[in-house]
Amino acid sequence: MPCCPADPLRGIEPADAMIHRLMVGDLPRTTAYQEAINRNKHLFHGKTVMDVGAGTGILSLFAAAAGATKVYAVEASGTAQLVNKVAKQNGFDEVISVLNCKVEDVELPSGVRIDVMVSEWMGFYLFHESMLNSVLAARDRFLAEDGVMFPSEARLYACPCSLQGLYEEKITFWNNVFGFDMSAVGSSVLDATAKKPEVCVVKQDDLLAQPVCIKTIDLRWVETNEITKFSENTFVSITKRAPYHGLCLWFECDFNGLDYNENGDSIGELVTLSTSPFSAPTHWKQTVVTLGAAGTERSSIGPEDGLQTDHDIADDTIRTKSKFIEVEEDEVIGWRLEFEQSESNARHYTITLQMLDPEEDEHPEPCSCGMARCLIIAKLIENEMQAAAGTKCNPEPVVVEETAAN
């Protein structure tokens, strides 16, 4: 299907309008894009920009206001016709060209290359319902050799967490309902919760360890096979005694505009959008991969198994062989988290969670879990790096404190 200008007869559905209102009104999200573009106008002034998945056109407007010569706003839905109107209302109708089609169907004029590709492609836990595959396809077709991707880097984080408050609200409520024991309902809710990612706001105090980055994506160079299936073994030291209900996932995106001008002076800034529990809440919230109810064991959960979340991510599934457990301060725990893209829908993933034995299973190198062997390996690696850099003639001896975890 060839790409075409926006159809003025197509409108926006009320439900779609609500979604766009939610996203544009998400101040941490939209402000991050605005600041990233405004503080790095040297990347946009006089340049050709593509906005992949333009929605109602706010990112295209930011780019045009920053001095872009041409902005291609690519939007497959009926909102594309509104971008035309919005561009004209703001005096950018000669700058912003709206293409009402999938980005895979776009055909640019001969010889046109994109200097900056901007997109808000991220989904829950970065990957769910994300447009990343489409963005990478557009990058490979249209981005100039010295072109820039905004955001430039994305990182996925994981941290063990407690959901005591959430479970008390959703499950314990059923223990005594007007004097009746209805805990069977609570057990059913808990059972369903264990099957699907839980999208909710996780408080800082509910995190049980230092967060760990489990996946980094350089948007300029990442290949699609790197996001089709990936996994990571992780070990951490628990910071307080609490019930361990699952792994909290969130992401950060960097917009790196740091550069040097012709005089050798540094210009531009690094702007970061964070969806962590330490930052202002966003519509992405956080995603928790739950461990499962005590006494249950799950190994293969399919899309037909129901859903209990604040947001509909029913097509993403969890496979887990775990239980809710009580953890102690300084205890080392480990897990293996695997993400596998659906063959039928690249925007959906199956998440596989496996608990690891810190004593028996292999740790990554370096590992910051605090166990003695990991401290030794980390110090050896540090000494090797320093020696290679020529910063030390005599590497420091490896010393492990007696109080280190075994």
Write down the residue that tokens 């202002």 correspond to: 280
Cβ(58)–Cβ(24) under 8 Å? Answer: yes
Where are the strands (E) in 124-211, listed by range? 143-150, 153-161, 198-200
Q: Which of 35, 104, 129, 269 is catalytic?
A: 129
> In a 3-state reduction of DSSP, which class is residue 294?
coil
Query: At residue 327, what are phi and psi to the nearest 5 degrees?
Result: -115, 155
Dihedral (C-alpha) 357, 362, 365, 369: value to the nearest 10 degrees?
10
**What's the CA gap between 322 and 194, in Å, rounded?**
10
> In a 3-state reduction of DSSP, which class is residue 140?
helix
Both structure tokens of 120: 């808000």
**What's the CA gap between 51 and 67, in Å, rounded?**
15
**What's the CA gap between 30 and 178, in Å, rounded?**
45
Both structure tokens of 195: 């099957």
Q: Tell me how long the chain is.
A: 406
Where are the strands (E) in 162-211, listed by range? 198-200
**What's the CA gap between 378 and 395, in Å, rounded?**
13
Q: Is 120 a catalytic residue?
A: yes
**DSSP 8-state assignment for residue 130:** -
| Cα dihedral sign, 359-360-365-369 | negative
**What's the CA gap between 167 and 186, in Å, rounded?**
9
Q: Which of 75, 120, 198, 331 is catalytic?
A: 120
**What is the set of active-site residues?**
120, 129
